[in-house]
Amino acid sequence: MREPVQARVDLGAVRANVALLRDRAAGAEVMAMVKAEGYGHGLVEAARAALDGGASWLGVARVAEALRLRAAGVTAPVLAAVVTPGEPHEEAVAAGVDLTVGSVALVERVAAAAERAGRPARVHLKADTGLSRGGATMADWPSVVDAAGAAQATGRIEVVGLMSHLACADEPGHPSVAAQLAAFQEAIEHAEKAGLRPRVRHLANSAATLTLPQARYDMVRPGIAVYGLTPIPQQGTFGLRPAMTLVAELAAVKRVPAGSGVSYGHTYVTDRETTLGLVAAGYGDGVPRHGSGLLEVLVGGRRRRIAGRVCMDQFVVDLGEDAPSPGEEVLLFGPGDRGEPTAQEWAEALGTISYEIVTRIGARVPRVYPDDPAGR
């Protein structure tokens, strides 16, 4: 049975994108970020493809994601980047999952979990160098370093990494970038003077991996670029290839007279007799409702704008005098090879970023992997 909407994921593109990023990293290790279901592409499948492409680490947001990778047999180093007090730290430590720590309280929680697990916790100390999100502020950094050093001396934790995150790497030349680089270097030097000798120092996201050599340190952490979407659209694609194609089908085709109101609210009214096509995908699948009347899709080799409001499970396109058959394929977005819109085009039409377009594809949409011999 063919599903009415599916996300086709080109794992070969993921592998090639990671290989490109590894080349750009110029000797730094690559941690491929596979959080949020691999940015909507499939957590385990994306992780395996990224490792095949040359990544040596994987990054997720939550402990549960890391544990899913372990349960799937993934043995590569995995970092949980957003660790919260209520997560199963002991289970994570037992599974060899690296944990991001940015406060004295969290150092103590993780150290206690390690004691219960009977093995040291692998931690990465996170400095807030200017994003004002996770991590220790520069004022609090010395106390976090001291707490980590004390816990390491007792064998409860191992400080594997030092890390931070850039706020504006996708805006080359933004003054915050230089300020954060300086702050991160200061944080590293303080930790090293305190006796910490981490294996990896890491700061660079996709944009910095591609454009900021001085941010690469020992490891880079690309996310969106792994999936072939550019982090800096104004500078082009960098040779990346989008991995996801969102495909639906025409559920019905019918002629309607001029003056026919289309979909909820009749925000679109036909100005002539025309053919309408009903597409079996909606905001329940991740097609943004605020894309009503804005987004284009490809039907019958031609782009068509969504006519009227996007509904939970369907939307309508005005086909004019064309008369495709029910069941015909509709390309919502993809790499653009056949003239279909890209996720970047959708993002620009909606005033958002491509990250949101691919990660919001709903759980009921099956991910299919045409180049996976196992058919997963």
The verdict on whether 35 is a catalytic residue reads yes
Which region holds residue 156: left if phi is over 0, alpha if psi is between -120 and 50, else beta? alpha
What is the b/e burial string over 231-249, where b = at least 16 CB atoms within 10 angstroms of the residue's CB? Answer: bbeeeebbebbbbbbbbbb
Pairing relation of β-strands 244-256 and 157-163?
Answer: unpaired
CA distances from 283 to 38, 39, 267, 313, 365 (A): 20, 18, 17, 6, 11
Contacts of 262 (CB under 8 A, 6+ apart): 268, 269, 270, 276, 307, 308, 316, 318
The verdict on whether 264 is a catalytic residue reads yes
Q: Is 21 helix (H, G, I), strand (E, B) or coil?
A: helix
Look up residue 36 and give its two tokens: 């949020």
Q: Residue with structure tokens 């931070």?
A: 164
Sign of the Cα torsion 221, 227, 230, 231 reads negative
CA distances from 342 to 7, 116, 150, 210, 219 (A): 13, 49, 51, 21, 30
Q: Residue with structure tokens 């079996």?
A: 280
Look up residue 86 and give its two tokens: 């209520």
Q: Please say whether the beta carbons of 307 and 263 come within 8 A.
A: yes
Q: Is 340 helix (H, G, I), strand (E, B) or coil?
A: coil
Rounded Cα gap, residues 39 and 20, in angstroms: 18
Q: Please say whether the beta carbons of 225 and 17 come within 8 A.
A: yes
Q: Which of 39, 126, 254, 264 is catalytic?
A: 264
What is the b/e burial string over 52-63, where b = at least 16 CB atoms within 10 angstroms of the residue's CB? Answer: ebbbebbbbbbb
* Residues tagged active-site: 35, 264
